[in-house]
Amino acid sequence: DAMVIQNPRYQVTQFGKPVTLSCSQTLNHNVMYWYQQKSSQAPKLLFHYYDKDFNNEADTPDNFQSRRPNTSFCFLDIRSPGLGDAAMYLCATSRDNVGSYEQYFGPGTRLTVT
Amino acid sequence: AQSVAQPEDQVNVAEGNPLTVKCTYSVSGNPYLFWYVQYPNRGLQFLLKYITGDNLVKGSYGFEAEFNKSQTSFHLKKPSALVSDSALYFCAVRDSDRGSTLGRLYFGRGTQLTVWP
């Protein structure tokens, strides 16, 4: 089945230690998104790729970076995690064609910062 | 500016009774509207969408939603609730004008639905 896959599902890192979260998709969607979600709040968009074009949200800290080496993969890099970065990180994809704008989400990676 | 309001943090309903989860929206152009459900420690799962056409849209697991342009609402409904419907529900909107938003969804803060036996 076509899907959005996130690895790992659970990640523990130390304060200040760089961490990378990965997302892959078999849907061949042209848009990929990274969201941060804290304790049953609405997902907060960090950035997204429209094809190869990177779009950063204005309030996303510089501590968060992203890479999309090809259509199928996208990475979230947190350069120096702080305690406040502990959250669920959700990857999503969409085709963004007329009539097909819904986003498909992966299961998420829960990040713990010790 | 685009925004979504879900006025109820929690909705409680007995199994077998109808349920409604409310959503109102604000966009500058025509709205594209979505409902998602999230179970604990999982990602969001797409339920249904309104893009154009019939105001009543049907989605997964027996859910439906009615688009009301005059009231700028898109309430989620189900005729008979199940205990397994208990989850966190998010309404989202996207402006049909793709210009500057590039597909960005604006989410409501979520409504926790609890269906008791």
> Is B3 part of the contact surface with chain A (CB cutoff 8 Å)?
no
Cα–Cα distance, A83 to A60 (Å, whole number)? 16
State the best of A102, A105, A110 to mutate against chain B, taking most chain B CBs within 10 Å.
Answer: A102
State mean pLDDT over B69-96.
94
Whose tokens are 């968060």? That residue is: A64
User: Does residue B50 come out as left (phi exceeding 0), alpha (psi in the -120 to 50 range) or beta?
Assistant: beta
CB contact under 8 A, B51 and A99: yes
State mean pLDDT over B42-68.
94
A33-61 per-position pLDDT tens digit: 999 999 878 999 999 998 999 999 999 99
> Is A108 part of the contact surface with chain B (CB cutoff 8 Å)?
yes
Give residue B104's identity as a one-letter amino acid code.
Answer: R
